[in-house]
Amino acid sequence: MSAIYENETIKIESEESEIPWLKIFTQHPYKEMSEVPADIKFDIYYLLDVIEKEMIAYYNPKKINIASFGNYVPHVHWHIMARFEEDSYFPEPMWGDKQREGNLDLPDFGIFCEKVLKALT
């Protein structure tokens, strides 16, 4: 995992995976979304929207998955994943049962991250 963007309240990290996968974390370790101040909630939803739109435009996935669990990491964070019929787990979640060996030939993830950063500035 490496941070691709951060400010005083939010950090965006990439997740090592066969699919494009970013995570948005609050800088403060809020346990529940209801604890997050309204302005930071607004920022999170704005970032979710930007990342989703950039994933759709760049990767043309079958589906975007957005999730927030925090059972293992009780710190508010959101997962944004581009999903493809050819990925190893589709249609299961990435935490589910593996369905096959993935066979993806995707555009460069680094360029995608640059596009996200450009969209945020």
For 49, other C-beta atoms within 10 Å of its C-beta total 12
The arithmetic mean of pLDDT across residues 86-112, rounded, is: 95
Distance between CA 52 and CA 76 in Å, rounded? 18
Burial of 73 (0-12, 13-18, 19+ CB in 10 A): exposed
H or E stretch including 3?
strand 2-6
Distance between CA 96 and CA 90 in Å, rounded? 9
Global pTM value: 0.94
pLDDT digits (tens, 9 = 90+) for 26-83: 999 999 999 999 999 999 999 999 999 999 999 999 999 999 988 888 899 999 999 9
Average pLDDT of the chain is 95
The domains located in the chain, with CATH, are 2-120 (3.30.428.10)
Residue 1 scores a pLDDT above 80: no
